[in-house]
Amino acid sequence: MSILQMLFILLLVLSSLIERNYGLTSVEKAVVNSSDYRLPGDLMPFAYNLTIVPNFENFTFSGHVDILFTVKKSTSDIMLNQQNLSIRLSDVSLKLLYHDPPLKILNISLDENLQRLHILSDPSLRANLDYSIGISFNGYLQDNMLGFYKTSYEENNIQKWIAVTQFESTYARQAFPCFDEPAYRAVFNLNIGRDADQISLANMRIINTTLPMPEWGNKVIDIYEPSPTMPTYLVAFSVNQFSNLTSNNDTFRIFMRPEVKSQGAYLQSIGRTVLDTIGNFLNISYALPKMDVLSVPDLDFGAMENWGLATFRERFVLYDSNINSESDKQILMALMAHEFGHQWF
């Protein structure tokens, strides 16, 4: 058994002993009633068509999402998650999938306490039929490393901004209206807006880029391949001006500040090997067409296992043999193996 395989098994054991704690004690956890905040389960999404465009001039973002869903139980109250988004009645449309005209929407209401969007339809949605709901929205890029947030770095004494996501566990709702619980899994078709001198990244590969779009502030839109079925907390995207280190077949890339690009060479040299070793050990090939690592100056965790686009706090990507020790190298490998293990489970 190789060293990487032994390390992988050890990491699995260690990870089973770790619980991320978000501030609730065991007593507090016991008295929380899940019906107070869980979605009712009347609707089941199966696809999201999401366009989202950050604006670094005023640190806002705008977007539109079409959610395709199946009705499990007849209801007139369409309930989604949202938090800190601006949504008006005129921003919402509803129709029976592949049918016109749109259905009537009587009212919408935002419940910031329970982080919900209620949409009241007329008539009620019928069980076992598929519908599409379209929602345009606006929001602010956060500065708390959660949801869709901004962070910065200096390059040649100029402040550069990046926008990046951190959706685990329930922060996708801060970026777009959605069914933001792990049980609700769907295909995501992402379209990310950016300026011509920027790049965008997401879970999947870019298949096309539009010309500047006047309706999106003359940004170009990168159109991504459809994702596999997945929960909202694993969705990830970023807009930045980073450089990348790329493997020969372009299936493993590291994106980082240009100034420290050379210090990503170690992880770039082992990344594809780590990914392949895990797949060979499990006898299950990696499911996505590429694996990217995004080195983020400010990240709430050491790293986050977004499917196809893992985000790492910058210090866990950099290695310089003139500065760092062999134990530092082992820490970087261990963290990468841990996050890459989550690409399977």
Span 44-93, pLDDT tens digits: 999 999 999 999 999 999 999 999 999 999 999 999 999 999 999 999 99
Strand, coil or helix: 75: strand
Residue 32: the pLDDT is: 56
User: Which residues, 6 or more positions from 324, have their beta carbon under 8 angstroms from its beta carbon?
Assistant: 318
Strand order, beta sheet including 199-202:
147-155, 158-166, 237-240, 199-202
- Is residue 184 a contact partner of residue 39, using CB atoms and an 8 Å limit? yes
218: left (phi over 0), alpha (psi -120 to 50) or beta: left
Domain boundary among 240, 271, 297: 240
Catalytic residues: 339
Statement to judge: residues 189 and 277 lie in one domain: no
| 303-331 pLDDT, tens digit each | 999 999 999 999 999 999 999 999 999 99
Q: Which residues are annotated as a binding site?
A: 338, 342
Enumerate the β-bridge partners of residue 256: 243
Statement to judge: residues 219 and 335 lie in one domain: no
Number of domains comprising the chain:
2
Residue 4: the pLDDT is: 53
Mean pLDDT of the region 145-150: 98
| Cα end-to-end span (Å), the chain | 22
Measured distance CA(16)–CA(117) in Å, rounded: 35
CATH number at residue 206: 2.60.40.1730
Mean pLDDT of the region 190-210: 98
Statement to judge: residues 212 and 176 lie in one domain: yes
Q: Is residue 24 part of a domain?
A: no
Q: What is the mean pLDDT of the chain?
A: 91
Statement to judge: residues 254 and 230 lie in one domain: no
Name the burial class of residue 89, with classes exposed (0-12), middle (13-18) and buried (19+) by CB atoms within 10 angstroms of its CB.
exposed
CA distances from 320 to 76, 147, 242, 255 (A): 59, 32, 19, 17
Statement to judge: residues 222 and 129 lie in one domain: yes
Domain boundary among 240, 275, 298: 240
Domain boundary among 196, 224, 240: 240
Least confident of 17-31, 76-90, 94-108: 17-31
Mean pLDDT of the region 163-186: 98
CA angle 148, 150, 154 (to 5 degrees): 155
Q: 119 pLDDT exceeds 70?
A: yes
The position carrying tokens 């601006």 is: 86
DSSP H stretches of helix in the chain: 3-16, 26-31, 265-282, 326-341
Q: Is residue 83 part of a domain?
A: yes
pLDDT band at 247 (very low <50, low <70, confident <90, very high): confident
Q: Which residues are annotated as a binding site for Zn(2+)?
A: 338, 342
Mean pLDDT of the region 190-205: 98
Mean pLDDT of the region 97-116: 94
Residue 2: the pLDDT is: 57
Count of all residues that appear for the chain in the document: 345
* Containing structural domain, residue 277: 243-342
Statement to judge: residues 181 and 216 lie in one domain: yes
Q: Is residue 7 part of a domain?
A: no
Statement to judge: residues 99 and 209 lie in one domain: yes
